Amino acid sequence: MAADKYTKKAVSSSVSPKADAWKDSLVVKEHTPAKQSSDVSYRQLENQLADCEAQIASHNDRKAAIEAEMVKVKAAVEKE
């Protein structure tokens, strides 16, 4: 299987500060094996990563709440 290919697109506009402007540059990604292409920017990937991290934090909070409830249920069962 061939690796995905990334090619910078010629068109690029940015409203970001100059230091971060490169993050908004679009890159054409050729997917393999079925040669599809889509536009993607570093900023989009950065936002997807932040979303994943927020979901992980939310899931960890929910997991902690469920585990705390499990402890209370177990304690109540063991009391009887």
Q: What is the pLDDT of residues 32-52, one digit of tens each?
A: 777 778 899 999 999 999 999
What order of strands is seen across the sheet that includes strand 26-31? 5-8, 26-31, 36-41
- Whether residue 1 is predicted with pLDDT greater than 80 in this model: the reply is no
What pLDDT score was predicted for residue 13? 58
pLDDT recorded at residue 77? 86
Instruction: Show the domain range for 41.
Output: 5-79
Q: Which residue has the higher pLDDT, 27 or 56?
A: 56
Q: Could you give the maximum distance between any two Cα atoms of the chain, in Å?
A: 72
On whether the pTM is more than 0.85, the answer is: no
Total number of domains constituting the chain: 1
